[in-house]
Amino acid sequence: MYTVGTLSFDNPLYQLQQNILHVDMDAFYASLAERDNPNLVGKPVVMARHPHETGGKGIVTTANYIAREYGIHSGMPSWKAYQLCPTAVFVPVNHPYVRSVSQQLYRIFLQYTPDVQRIAYDEAYLSLDMMQDGEQVAKQIKQQIKDELDLTCSIGVSYNKTLAKLASDYQKPDGLTEIDVENAVTFLDSLPVKDVHGIGPKTVSKLEKYHVETVKDLKMMNPEDLELIFGSGVDSLMNRLNGVDPKPVVTEREPKSSGNERTYHPFLASDVEVQQAIISLVDKLGDTLKRDHLFGNTVVLKLRDAEFKNYSRRLHLDYVFQDKATVYDLAWKAWLELRPQMNHTIRLVGVTLTGLDSNEGRQQGQTLLL
């Protein structure tokens, strides 16, 4: 029997049976650069602007596996990456392009299951039906990504999210690892503690003083020492290291509305001041709608006066839109309708677009942002 805090383990506990894939693209940004420019293949590629162009400012987004052999990693200052490998090729990140490829990637995921939890442009959890063969689905996804996008990924398959993520990291790049109930504890026990998500370099250094190198070593530590190092998080950590993680895949839901509001001081007292406030709010909202590919059909103007009384007006169109001009026109019209009711100056203005839809195939009015 193993005890830590309020937890006791004889055999691993399996609180929630799931069928989960963790898909992690291999050096996604750098792989895109190499795919589109074959001259980069075989060279150390660092995704950042060259420090000579930035005066030494900037950080590394990621690097290909060749550059990583020099010790270059994400979050490192670009000047440090240059010091480690002066021959590296520095490539600025084209974020809109990366986002567009990521959308292609997620469309592939959704062909296999509607339950997809987005972690990043290049990383996601997929929850499959219990009757599906996780390893077979993983092979199909890997092949489809290779065929359609000419990219590789590593996929972990397991009965919970912690193990699926550990599995995807196990055989990078282009790996596929399955951890089932029977081999989970054996796999975990042999894992170096430095490879456990949530145990950082500083904690690894502390554990070295206890001669702890693997998860099995960690489990043999005195419970009081564990609590001293990990604090209140020790129970959750030891649960995960004994194969227990009941957290489900959380499917991303589309928002029903998007908006901005702002409190003003001094208060707004004229049409011109309210107009400028609406223009500023619509400008920010329009950028968000374009970035997230969202369209809506109803604009809501919210006002709060100096006496904290709230007013609102909703104006609806029979088609979806996202352009700033239409949002502004409806918000301004709503102001003109509310203005006769206003007996005080305005302390807050908000503009929201509701009835959101990411399907651009629906009937639209104007769809291009100014």
Q: What is the pLDDT of residue 116?
A: 92
Instruction: Say whether pLDDT at 152 is over 90.
Output: yes
pLDDT band of 216, cuts 50, 70, 90:
very high
Q: Where in the chain is the domain with CATH 3.40.1170.60?
A: 31-94
Q: How far is CA 334 from CA 11, 33, 63, 199, 272, in A?
A: 64, 48, 50, 53, 15
Instruction: Say whether pLDDT at 91 is over 90.
Output: yes
pLDDT band of 8, cuts 50, 70, 90:
very low
- Higher-pLDDT residue of 165 and 232 is 165
Q: What is the pLDDT of residue 177?
A: 94
Instruction: Say whether pLDDT at 126 is over 80.
Output: yes
- By percentage, how much of the chain surpasses pLDDT 70? 91
The pTM for the full model equals 0.64
Sheet holding 116-120, edge to edge: 116-120, 123-127, 20-25, 153-158, 176-179
Q: What is the pLDDT of residue 292?
A: 78
Closest by CA to 355, choosing from 312, 301, 302, 319, is 319
Closest by CA to 160, choosing from 189, 137, 185, is 185
Q: Is the peptide bond before 173 cis (omega within 30 degrees of 0)?
A: yes
Closest by CA to 285, choosing from 370, 206, 175, is 370
Mean pLDDT over residues 3-31, rounded?
Answer: 69
Question: Using CA atoms, how far apart are residues 157 and 136, in angstroms rounded to an integer?
Answer: 10
- Compute the Cα dihedral for 148, 149, 151, 156 and give only its sign: negative
Question: Using CA atoms, how far apart are residues 48 and 60, in angstroms rounded to an integer?
Answer: 5
Asked: is 257-354 a CATH 3.90.800.10 domain? The reply is no
Q: Where in the chain is the domain with CATH 3.30.1490.100?
A: 257-354
Q: What is the pLDDT of residue 254?
A: 58
Instruction: Say whether pLDDT at 328 is over 70.
Output: yes
Phi-psi region at 14: left, alpha or beta (left = phi > 0; alpha = psi -120 to 50): beta
Instruction: Say whether pLDDT at 81 is over 60.
Output: yes
- State the chain's maximal CA–CA distance in angstroms: 75
Q: Which fold is adopted by the domain 31-94? A: MutS, DNA mismatch repair protein, domain I (3.40.1170)
For 28-73, the pLDDT digits (tens) are 999 999 999 999 999 999 999 999 998 888 889 889 999 999 999 9
Closest by CA to 265, choosing from 345, 340, 341, 352, is 345
pLDDT band of 120, cuts 50, 70, 90:
confident
Residue with tokens 């162009």: 53
For 261-319, the pLDDT digits (tens) are 998 989 999 999 999 999 999 999 988 888 777 888 999 999 999 888 889 999 999 88
Q: What CATH number is given for 1-30+95-253 in this structure?
A: 3.30.70.270
Active site residues: 123
Instruction: Say whether pLDDT at 366 is over 50.
Output: no
Q: What is the pLDDT of residue 252?
A: 62
**End-to-end Cα, the chain, rounded Å:** 66
> What is the residue-averaged pLDDT of the chain?
87
Instruction: Say whether pLDDT at 14 is over 50.
Output: no
Q: How far is CA 351 from CA 125, 153, 163, 190, in A?
A: 34, 41, 44, 55
CB neighbour class for 156 (10 Å; exposed up to 12, middle 13-18, buried from 19): buried
- Higher-pLDDT residue of 44 and 18 is 44
Closest by CA to 349, choosing from 286, 309, 305, 316, is 305
Residues 33, 57 contacting (CB under 8 angstroms):
no
Alpha carbon 340 to chain centroid, angstroms = 45
* Extended beta strands in 132-233, E state: 153-158, 176-179
Instruction: Say whether pLDDT at 4 is over 50.
Output: no
Q: Where in the chain is the domain with CATH 3.30.70.270?
A: 1-30+95-253
